[in-house]
Structure 1
């Protein structure tokens, strides 16, 4: 083929240009992706930050093809991604903090809960929330944490340990449907037990309402797609409990089994702020511990100011602990 008959740079790579535009539209219109078919919208939103990785891949392909049109089209997804997540790339933390909170899903199958307890006690947390507590591991955590945390409450599979007094502890409706359930955890984890609680921490600055929750698990399978029904009911029930909370100062800790980009958490995110978004450094991914790809363990607040938010080292669980320093 003669050079004169070759397509120019603006006509090369039409498929790459189309893919770039589709990527940008997918990110900017992610709220419009329907959930009617396999909860596709929630699945996309769960991993939405990772869609940015397609930009350099497509850029490399566009440069290889010398396609000016594809390079230009990539401006759309690049700008959209930066608008959505660019603010999370820097360090937003500040010095100070009146109270440090830590939350972890300790994993019912954790082979060494005593070691996990020691690691968490050494974190310096004033308030420590643990979820997915098994009947076997509960007394281990209670013994190992008793010295550092003289106050604690455990309801079902969730618990809170505190250096400060606790009061008015009670279970919270978790929206779970406890019908026949396939066992996905060790036998000593009872699915029909409490998975959310509310308590009051007495601080020098006044009472602080603390919620601890472990929402239902999600599954991805060929038949049902992204199965989130239990989780979504839990998110709605938890949002209703927070909406009815009379205390102005609220902290929600726990494993929500979803990222806050997921539309299922709109009821919570409209009332609470993410400590990681306000005062973290980066995305703060917490799961899985071996190679974190999503932040499903959360510290959400109302009426207090997040100063710092960070992820702690692995403790033997399949989740990383998340921490935040808050002030009044």
Structure 2
């Protein structure tokens, strides 16, 4: 008889990884939370030379909320109390900076004037439909940017019945229910002009500027290319130095937000209708999923009653509107 003796193997010892303290687990998340907070509070210190990082950050400043949500999710996954507490810092800061945007800021009382501005898109397949939608808003002043010669005729024909007065300079124009006078083109860069005119409203003369600043691009290597836009903004600011005193409107596609420091020479002279009496951020571009308000209605010596965006047209921008009174 053969007898086999089986010797039991010694059980393998499990490798026990060192336990990371919860405090250490949240350090990176906490550091990022502080960084996001500093970015919101001190964005003016971000350098704007070369790749124009400062302008890029300021254009999308409200979207720091996405970073805060991501940090919160990471803190919950790591189960780190330190990280959760740290994320409160940017969350409270964001609420303090942007929270008032969602409050009802409309003014009491009746408006005297409604204005709409819209980059109609030079590739707009339905100019007549776009014109009808804008006229249906009831606005007395309709400013259009990115006009082309073929489409201009359709806008003129469609708006002639409701807005019998209009002025055009290059690719921008203004249609009005009130008479327009003293119209002049303002050269911004070699291929783009702004428009200055005076509307004789029942409440008195109103100076109106319609502008379309050059586009910006985000490219690897060159960053946020804003040189042409900034040059045009400087020339527009120089024109505003000689602008007549009194009630003034400045509207159009600025290819930048009112937070962008590069536009301060222009925007700093006016009050934003959206910031004064709009609901939410009023993002206007791109139309399918707006991420920034680059279409502006700016006022001087006027009270903003309300401001809003209109439904999408065949353009890649949303129209923006404001009701005003003297």
Q: Return the TM-score normalized by structure 1.
A: 0.91
Match of 2:321, SS?
strand
Question: Residue 165 of structure 1: which of 175, 179, 188 is its match?
Answer: 179
Residue of structure 1 equivalent to 2:11: none
Task: Give, in whole Å, the separation in 1 of the partners of 2:231 and 2:221.
Answer: 21
Task: Give, in whole Å, the separation in 1 of the partners of 2:287 and 2:138.
Answer: 21
Q: Mean Cα displacement is larger for which, 122-131 or 20-29?
A: 20-29
Q: Counterparts of 1:16-95 in structure 2 under 5 Å?
A: 16-95=29-108
Match of 1:251, SS?
strand
Residue of structure 1 equivalent to 2:267: 269
Residue of structure 2 equivalent to 1:152: 166
Match of 1:82, SS?
helix
Residue of structure 1 equivalent to 2:3: none
Tell me whether 1:108 sits opposite 2:106 in the alignment: no
Q: Give CA deviations for 1:247-285 in whole Å, capped at 9, x if unaligned.
A: 311111100011111111111232100000000000000
Q: Counterparts of 1:190-205 in structure 2 under 5 Å?
A: 192=191, 194-205=192-203
Q: Displacement of 1:108 after TM fit?
A: 0.5
Q: Displacement of 1:2 after TM fit?
A: 12
Tell me whether 1:228 sits opposite 2:242 in the alignment: no
Q: Displacement of 1:40 after TM fit?
A: 0.8
Residue of structure 2 equivalent to 1:211: 209
The 8 Å contact of residues 106 and 116 in structure 1, kept in 2 or not, is answered as: yes
Uncovered stretches (5+) of structure 2, i.e. residues with no partner: 1-13
Question: Residue 13 of structure 1: which of 18, 21, 26 is its match?
Answer: 26
Residue of structure 2 equivalent to 1:182: none
Task: Give, in whole Å, the separation in 2 of the partners of 1:243 and 1:283.
Answer: 29
Match of 1:287, SS?
coil
Q: Displacement of 1:84 after TM fit?
A: 2.1
Match of 2:240, SS?
helix
The 8 Å contact of residues 208 and 247 in structure 1, kept in 2 or not, is answered as: no
Count of equivalent residues: 311
Task: Give, in whole Å, the separation in 2 of the partners of 1:208 and 1:74.
Answer: 48
**What's the C-alpha RMSD, in Å, of the aligned pairs?**
1.7
Task: Give, in whole Å, the separation in 2 of the partners of 1:37 and 1:155.
Answer: 33
Tell me whether 1:321 sits opposite 2:288 in the alignment: no
Task: Give, in whole Å, the separation in 2 of the partners of 1:2 and 1:207.
Answer: 83
Residue of structure 2 equivalent to 1:311: 309
Q: Displacement of 1:8 after TM fit?
A: 4.5
Task: Give, in whole Å, the separation in 1 of the partners of 2:205 and 2:234.
Answer: 25
Question: Residue 250 of structure 2: which of 249, 252, 256 is its match?
Answer: 252
Task: Give, in whole Å, the separation in 2 of the partners of 1:235 and 1:88.
Answer: 26
Q: Displacement of 1:141 after TM fit?
A: 0.5
Q: Return the TM-score normalized by structure 2.
A: 0.91
Tell me whether 1:130 sits opposite 2:128 in the alignment: no
Q: Displacement of 1:246 after TM fit?
A: 1.9
Match of 1:136, SS?
helix
Match of 1:130, SS?
strand
Task: Give, in whole Å, the separation in 1 of the partners of 2:218 and 2:284.
Answer: 19
The 8 Å contact of residues 113 and 141 in structure 1, kept in 2 or not, is answered as: yes
Task: Give, in whole Å, the separation in 2 of the partners of 1:291 and 1:7.
Answer: 42
Task: Give, in whole Å, the separation in 2 of the partners of 1:64 and 1:34.
Answer: 34
